[in-house]
A and B are shown apart, each in its own frame.
Chain A
Amino acid sequence: MTIATRIEGGAAYVSVAGEAALCDPAGALFLPAHGLLVVSDLHLEKGAAFARRGVMMPPYDTAATLDRLARVVEAYDPAAVISLGDSFHDVVGARHMPEPFRQRLGAIMSGRDWFWIVGNHDPEPPAGLPGRTVSEIAVGNLLFRHEPAARACDGEVAGHLHPGARIVRRGRSVRRPCFATDGRRLVMPAFGALTGVLNVRDRAFLRLFEWNAFRAYMLGTGKVYPVDGKMLSPG
Chain B
Amino acid sequence: MTDQPAFSPDPAGPRLPEPFLRWFAERGWAPRAHQLDLLALAQGGASVLLIAPTGAGKTLAGFLPSLVDLALRGKRRPGEAQRGVHTLYISPLKALAVDIERNLTKPVEGIGLPVTMETRTGDTPAHKRQRQKLSPPDILLTTPEQLALLIASKDAARFFSGLRYVVLDELHSLVTSKRGHLLSLGLARLRALVPGLQSIGLSATVAEPDALRRWLVPQNPPGAMADLITVAGGAKPQISILESRERVPWAGHSARHAMPEVYEEIRKHKTTLLFVNTRSQAELLFQELWRINEDNLPIALHHGSLDVAQRRRVEKAMESNALRAIVATSTLDLGIDWGDVDLVVHVGAPKGASRLAQRIGRSNHRMDEPSKAILVPANRFEVMECRAAIEANYLGAQDTPPLLDGALDVLAQHVLGCACAEPFAADALYDEVRTAAPYALLDREIFDRIVQFVATGGYALKTYERYARIRQTKEGLWRVSHPRVAQQYRLNVGTIIEAPMLNVRYVRSGRGSAGGRGGAVLGKVEEYFLETLAPGDTFMFSGRVLRFEGIRESEAFVSNAAGTDAMVPSYAGGKFPLSTYLAEQVRAMLADPARWQALPDQVSDWLRLQRDVSALPKRDQLLVETFPRGQRFYMVAYPFEGRLAHQTLGMLLTRRLERAGARPLGFVASDYALAIWGLSDMGAMATSGAAPLAALFDEDMLGDDLDAWLAESWLLKRTFRNCAVIAGLIEKRYPGQEKTGRQVTVSADLIYDVLRSHEPDHILMQATRADAATGLLDVARLSDMLSRIKGRIRHKALDRISPLAVPIMLEIGKESVNGETSDMLLAEVADELIEEAAGQR
Residues in chain A within 8 A of chain B (CB atoms): 2, 5, 48, 51-61, 63-64, 98, 166-174, 176, 193-197, 203, 218, 220-221, 223, 225-228, 231, 233-235
Q: Decide if B456 is an interface residue (CB 8 Å cutoff).
A: yes
Q: How does the 8 Å CB contact mask read for B593-621 relative to A, with 1 for contact and 0 for none? A: 00000000000000000000000000000
Residues in chain B within 8 A of chain A (CB atoms): 453, 456-459, 461, 463-464, 467, 469, 482, 484-485, 488, 513, 530-532, 534, 550-552, 729-731, 743, 746-747, 750-751, 754-755, 757-759, 762, 816, 818, 822-823, 825-830, 832-834, 836-837
Q: Is the CB of A59 within 8 A of B488?
A: no
CB distance from B500 to the nearest CB of A (A): 11
Across the interface, B534 reaches (CB within 8 A) one of A98, A174, A225, A233, namely: A233
Residues of A close to B457: CB separation below 8 A: 51, 56-59
Q: Is the CB of A174 within 8 A of B822?
A: yes
Closest to B489 in A: A54
Q: Is the CB of A51 within 8 A of B467?
A: yes
Q: A168-B534, A173-B531 are in contact. Are A226 and B830 (CB under 8 A)?
A: yes
Q: Is the CB of A227 within 8 A of B833?
A: yes
Across the interface, A168 reaches (CB within 8 A) one of B485, B532, B755, B758, namely: B532
Q: Is the CB of B830 within 8 A of A227?
A: yes
Residues of B close to A170: CB separation below 8 A: 816
Across the interface, A169 reaches (CB within 8 A) one of B729, B825, B833, B836, namely: B825
Extra contacts, 14 of them, besides A51-B457, A226-B830, A227-B830 (Cβ < 8 A), are A5-B834, A53-B484, A54-B469, A60-B461, A63-B758, A167-B826, A168-B534, A172-B822, A172-B825, A194-B751, A195-B750, A218-B830, A227-B826, A234-B513
Closest to B828 in A: A169
Residues of B close to A53: CB separation below 8 A: 484
Residues of A close to B513: CB separation below 8 A: 234
* Cα(A117)–Cα(B402), bound, Å: 58
Residues of A close to B826: CB separation below 8 A: 167, 174, 176, 218, 220, 225, 227
Q: A54-B484, A167-B825 are in contact. Are A196 and B816 (CB under 8 A)?
A: no
Residues of B close to A168: CB separation below 8 A: 531-532, 534
CB distance from A224 to the nearest CB of B (A): 9
* Cα(A218)–Cα(B534), bound, Å: 20
Q: Is the CB of B482 within 8 A of A98?
A: no
Residues of A close to B832: CB separation below 8 A: 231
* Cα(A42)–Cα(B823), bound, Å: 24
CB distance from B450 to the nearest CB of A (A): 13
* Cα(A1)–Cα(B829), bound, Å: 21
* Cα(A231)–Cα(B826), bound, Å: 11
Residues of A close to B755: CB separation below 8 A: 58, 60
Q: Can you pick out 14 interface pairs between chain A and chain B where the beta carbons lie within 8 Å of each other?
A: A56-B453, A57-B729, A166-B531, A167-B826, A172-B822, A173-B531, A173-B532, A174-B822, A220-B826, A221-B823, A226-B830, A233-B531, A234-B513, A235-B531
Q: Is the CB of A60 within 8 A of B816?
A: no
CB distance from B444 to the nearest CB of A (A): 22
Q: A64-B758, A167-B829 are in contact. Are A57 and B751 (CB under 8 A)?
A: yes
* Cα(A63)–Cα(B464), bound, Å: 15
CB distance from A180 to the nearest CB of B (A): 15
CB distance from A103 to the nearest CB of B (A): 15
Q: A54-B488, A220-B823 are in contact. Are A48 and B464 (CB under 8 A)?
A: yes
Residues of A close to B827: CB separation below 8 A: 220, 225
* Cα(A53)–Cα(B469), bound, Å: 9
Residues of A close to B459: CB separation below 8 A: 56, 58-60
Closest to B464 in A: A51
* Cα(A193)–Cα(B751), bound, Å: 9
Residues of B close to A167: CB separation below 8 A: 825-826, 829
Q: A170-B816, A193-B754, A196-B746 are in contact. Are A225 and B532 (CB under 8 A)?
A: no
Q: Is the CB of A59 within 8 A of B461?
A: yes
Q: A56-B456, A60-B759 are in contact. Are A169 and B743 (CB under 8 A)?
A: no
CB distance from A163 to the nearest CB of B (A): 14
Q: A220-B826, A234-B551 are in contact. Are A56 and B464 (CB under 8 A)?
A: yes
Closest to A60 in B: B758
Q: Is the CB of B463 within 8 A of A59?
A: yes
Residues of B close to A54: CB separation below 8 A: 467, 469, 482, 484-485, 488
* Cα(A166)–Cα(B533), bound, Å: 13
* Cα(A172)–Cα(B463), bound, Å: 40
Q: A57-B457, A59-B461 are in contact. Are A235 and B530 (CB under 8 A)?
A: yes
* Cα(A59)–Cα(B828), bound, Å: 37
Q: Is the CB of B754 within 8 A of A58?
A: yes
Residues of B close to A234: CB separation below 8 A: 513, 550-551
CB distance from B415 to the nearest CB of A (A): 14
CB distance from A72 to the nearest CB of B (A): 18
6 closest pairs, A vs B, by CB? Answer: A56-B457, A60-B758, A225-B830, A196-B746, A51-B467, A174-B822
Q: Is the CB of A56 within 8 A of B469?
A: yes
Across the interface, B754 reaches (CB within 8 A) one of A2, A194, A203, A227, namely: A194
